[in-house]
Amino acid sequence: MLKKFGKLVDLEVLQTLSGNRRVEEMRQKIREQDAKYTKELKHWEAKESLTEITKQNTERLRKMNSLLSQKKALDEQLNARQWKTVFSSSHICCC
């Protein structure tokens, strides 16, 4: 026991409180780090999800481009056949 400011203070209790304070500070630090890492993990998961969606959309755009190219080629073939039909029927010889 020690006398401080006119009151008796139990040193063992004081040391225990001091130790508990350190433990509590460490627990708080762990909670803060855990919150930080959880937030960072969510950020990376969102980024990974966005990357996957971007890959899927890019593949869809490539497929769409391929289909549009095929459509253009088919339209050109159809137009060529129609012109041949129109051209051959309009050149009937009148002799």
Residues 21-76 have pLDDT tens digits of 888 889 999 999 999 999 999 999 999 999 999 999 999 999 999 999 999 999 99
**Distances 6 to 1, 2, 9 between C-alpha atoms, Å:** 12, 10, 9
Whether residue 56 is contained in a domain is answered as yes
Give the pLDDT of residue 19. Answer: 67
Give the pLDDT of residue 62. Answer: 99
Q: Retrieve residue 33's tokens.
A: 């780090």
Residue 1 near residue 11, CB atoms below 8 Å = yes
Q: Is the pLDDT of residue 78 over 70?
A: yes
Q: How many folded domains does the chain comprise?
A: 1
Whether residue 42 is contained in a domain is answered as yes
Residue 73 amino acid letter: A
The mean pLDDT value for 12-19 works out to: 67
- pTM for this prediction: 0.56
Full residue range of the structural domain in which residue 49 is found: 11-80
User: How far apart are alpha carbons 95 and 82 in whole angstroms?
Assistant: 26
Q: Retrieve residue 60's tokens.
A: 């869809």
Whether residue 91 is contained in a domain is answered as no
